[in-house]
Amino acid sequence: MTIHRKKKIEVRNLVKIFGKNPQKAISLVEQGVSKQEIFERTKQTVGLYNVSFDVYEGETFVLMGLSGSGKSTLLRCLNRLIEPSDGHILIDGDDIATMDDKELRETRRKKLSMVFQGFALLPHRTVIDNVAFGLEIQGVSKEERYPKAEDAVAKVGLKGYESSKTSQLSGGMQQRVGLARALATDPDVLLMDEAFSALDPLIRSEMQDELLALQDKMKKTIVFVSHDLDEALKLGDRIAIMKDGVIAQIGTAEEILTEPADDYVSEFVAGVDRTKILTAENVMKRPEPVVSINAGLKVALQLMKKHGISSIFVVDPEKVIKGILFIDDAVAAVKDKKTLQDVLVTDILSVKPDVPIKEIIPVMSDSSSPLAVINENNKLIGVIVRGSILGALAITEGDQNGLT
Ligand SMILES: Nc1ncnc2c1ncn2[C@@H]1O[C@H](COP(=O)(O)OP(=O)(O)O)[C@@H](O)[C@H]1O
Ligand SMILES: [Mg+2]
């Protein structure tokens, strides 16, 4: 299936060298000299080198990597808080890197908003003033900015706290204020730099859930920086893993876990519990064969025998699941002159495609029937048998240990 999605951000061959002699550093990178050695020889720091990727509209794209790998530099190049040394950054097709000041200001105002590491709030101002502040620096009038700020405050669950001083709020609430300030300007793109890293684990997890819930409704394009793999896997539709200013791999959580591009990525993902990341969709098989609710028992029996299976899912012409038929019941029913409907088991086990394997394993181990994977319209889109889960986990375990 090809999905044509709009590219919101296109980054092409982006380079950032910190120092006065970027050219010298660039020619050394091109010769394959390491970032460390380039610094020792030239005192130039390779912030980013030859970074290219796309971010699609409505996507949450996570930049992930160890401290110093270039995540913040990359994020800040996207709105030119940091001037790139070379390369292109297209937002809706327009190159940020070559815009004059006026165009840049316009683009930032209309399309980009940043949530900073450690909130960057005004401690003595109230929640509502802090949220309105983002609009104020954009020159939005008072009459316009307060209703918008109130909206944003409500969105992040801070209704009732409008007139509290931000310095009196907990870390989690302060982060909500920071998020509300970014949302108040209704940007197309949210740039978030380690936005949740300062929070303690429980609050942090809560904020991640909150962002996912908000994003479900808002469908903004989000570029989220994190050094935390769990956070990256949880939030990211796709993840770019950075190392020494270059991208080591870009992919979905599944791709990065199951096909790490190199040893660096493998090491990164080694400790991850795959049953939390892989979902029903990753391990299901095509639902074949199935039998139509309008077909007879004999057809169903033939299909089961031909495929050597002891049960078969029954669907209507729209592929909506109607139940499961077991071979023993079908054989008995033929003898007793009953119909398929008479012996159809309608109380079936089913899951949605995005359910993690961790939640599926207990369901499967209590039952010998296959598990139906159904979409929101109850259409049968896949089947999971016990072996498919073990198979998927075994393969990735093997990869991890270098056995395959
Ligand atoms: N203003 C700067 N001047 C010189 N070097 C910098 C500057 N900002 C970042 N760097 C260097 O660029 C590299 C990437 O830094 P950064 O993007 O902050 O990493 P991350 O956000 O992944 O921790 C690091 O080696 C850092 O020391
Ligand atoms: Mg950083």
pLDDT at 69: 95
Residue that is written with structure tokens 């160890």 in the block: 66
- What's 212's domain CATH number? 3.40.50.300
Q: Are residues 225 and 106 both part of a single domain?
A: yes
Whether the Cβ atoms of residue 130 and residue 117 lie closer than 8 Å to each other = no
CA 317 to chain centre: 34
Q: Are residues 209 and 65 both part of a single domain?
A: yes
In whole angstroms, give the CA distance from residue 234 to residue 214.
14
Looking at the domain assignment, is residue 138 inside a domain? Answer: no
CA of 242 to the centre of ligand 1 (A): 13
Instruction: Out of 15, 17, 18, give the residue to mutate to test ligand 1, the one with the largest number of ligand atoms within 8 Å of its CB.
Output: 18
In the chain, which residues have pLDDT < 50? 1, 396-404
pLDDT at 362: 84
- What's 388's domain CATH number? 3.10.580.10
Residue nearest to atom 12 of ligand 1 (CA): 47
Atom of ligand 1 nearest to the CA of 63: 22
Whether the Cβ atoms of residue 156 and residue 179 lie closer than 8 Å to each other = yes
Length of the chain, in residues: 404
Q: Are residues 309 and 222 both part of a single domain?
A: no
CA-based nearest residue to 112, from 67, 38, 27, 55:
55
Q: Which of 252, 272, 292 delimits the end of a domain?
A: 272
Q: Which of 217, 242, 272 delimits the end of a domain?
A: 272
Order of all β-strands in the sheet with 189-193: 112-115, 189-193, 221-226, 60-65, 238-243, 246-251
Residue nearest to atom 20 of ligand 1 (CA): 68
Q: Are residues 37 and 101 both part of a single domain?
A: yes
CA of 68 to the centre of ligand 2 (A): 7
Looking at the domain assignment, is residue 363 inside a domain? Answer: yes
Packing angle between helix 297-307 and helix 327-335, nearest 10 degrees? 140
pLDDT at 400: 43
pLDDT at 399: 45
Looking at the domain assignment, is residue 174 inside a domain? Answer: no
pLDDT at 221: 96
Domain count, the chain: 2
Looking at the domain assignment, is residue 225 inside a domain? Answer: yes
Q: Are residues 243 and 300 both part of a single domain?
A: no
What residues flank ligand 1, with Cβ below 6 Å? 18, 45, 47, 65, 67-73
Ligand nearest to the CA of 71: 1
Q: Are residues 338 and 316 both part of a single domain?
A: yes
Domain containing residue 343: 281-392
pLDDT at 198: 80
Q: Are residues 261 and 336 both part of a single domain?
A: no
Ligand nearest to the CA of 16: 1
Instruction: Out of 29, 36, 45, 74, give the residue to mutate to test ligand 1, the one with the largest number of ligand atoms within 8 Å of its CB.
Output: 45
Q: Are residues 321 and 252 both part of a single domain?
A: no
Convert the pLDDT of each residue in 71-99 to its tens digit: 999 999 999 999 999 999 999 999 999 99
Looking at the domain assignment, is residue 397 inside a domain? Answer: no
Q: Are residues 195 and 319 both part of a single domain?
A: no
Ligand nearest to the CA of 76: 1
pLDDT at 118: 63
Atom of ligand 1 nearest to the CA of 16: 12
Atom of ligand 1 nearest to the CA of 245: 14
CA of 75 to the centre of ligand 1 (A): 11
Number of DSSP helices (H) and strands (E) in the chain, helices first: 18, 16
Residue nearest to atom 25 of ligand 1 (CA): 68
Provide the pairing of β-strand 238-243 with 60-65.
parallel
Output DSSP code: residue 84.
Answer: -
